A and B are shown apart, each in its own frame.
Chain A
Amino acid sequence: GAVVSQHPSRVICKSGTSVKIECRSLDFQATTMFWYRQFPKKSLMLMATSNEGSKATYEQGVEKDKFLINHASLTLSTLTVTSAHPEDSSFYICSASQGSRSGYTFGSGTRLTVV
């Protein structure tokens, strides 16, 4: 079946630095990928929709200059958390779709801790 690889699985960084998270579709082409954020004991909150070759579409309240999304190819989308702060510490998950009826495949998630 479809596989989405997400790296790194865990990252600890210092306040003020930037962190890049990669999401790759391994055996299919993903025109659209989605980035979610999840706080402890909460559900997945959609941050943005990443489209290959065009600008990402951000959900209301998500700072596009802070969470930079690049979808340079049909198999790779990246999320860069710029100038990270402790409040950015969270679980970030990417997802790729081959069409709504085909389902959504999730990456394994990235646990970001900003110290």
Chain B
Amino acid sequence: GQNIDQPTEMTATEGAIVQINCTYQTSGFNGLFWYQQHAGEAPTFLSYNVLDGLEEKGRFSSFLSRSKGYSYLLLKELQMKDSASYLCAAPSGGYNKLIFGAGTRLAVHP
């Protein structure tokens, strides 16, 4: 089966750092994605991890541990515009259909 878990909501202060965790169970493993989604818009790609370790891309970094079925998204120097939903997703099944977690709604306040 497949299951992706992440916290429903988080709050953080502008300028701070926040870590959004994701645990997953999928049939086979073809990488782990993170997307950002603002209300009423399509998801936008943030990161893709297929190997263990941390990948840094500007203010956003993503970490993967395949043995633990665990990933996190790290957002540094938070800005108000970072208030959005952050979706953890993994390809699964014969067509590598992308399955999403419930999403984490992040609210950044001054």
> Hey, which bits of chain A sit against chain B, CB under 8 A?
32, 34, 36, 41-46, 49, 51, 57, 91, 93, 95, 97, 99-101, 103-104, 106-109, 111
Query: Are A43 and B30 in contact, CB atoms less than 8 angstroms apart?
Result: no
Chain A, interface SS category: strand
Residues 16-53 of B at the A interface (beta carbon under 8 Å) = 30-31, 33, 40-45, 48, 50
Number of interface residues of B (CB under 8 A): 24
Partner of B42, one of A41, A49, A93, A101: A93
* Cα–Cα distance between A51 and B99 once the two chains are bound (Å): 17
User: Could you say which residues of chain B place their CB within 8 Å of the CB of A93?
Assistant: 42-43
Query: Are A100 and B99 in contact, CB atoms less than 8 angstroms apart?
Result: no
Partner of B102, one of A43, A100, A101, A106: A43
Query: Are B43 and A41 in contact, CB atoms less than 8 angstroms apart?
Result: no
User: Could you say which residues of chain A place their CB within 8 Å of the CB of B85?
Assistant: 43
Query: Are B87 and A43 in contact, CB atoms less than 8 angstroms apart?
Result: yes
* Cα–Cα distance between A32 and B93 once the two chains are bound (Å): 13
Query: Are B40 and A91 in contact, CB atoms less than 8 angstroms apart?
Result: yes
Query: Are A46 and B99 in contact, CB atoms less than 8 angstroms apart?
Result: yes
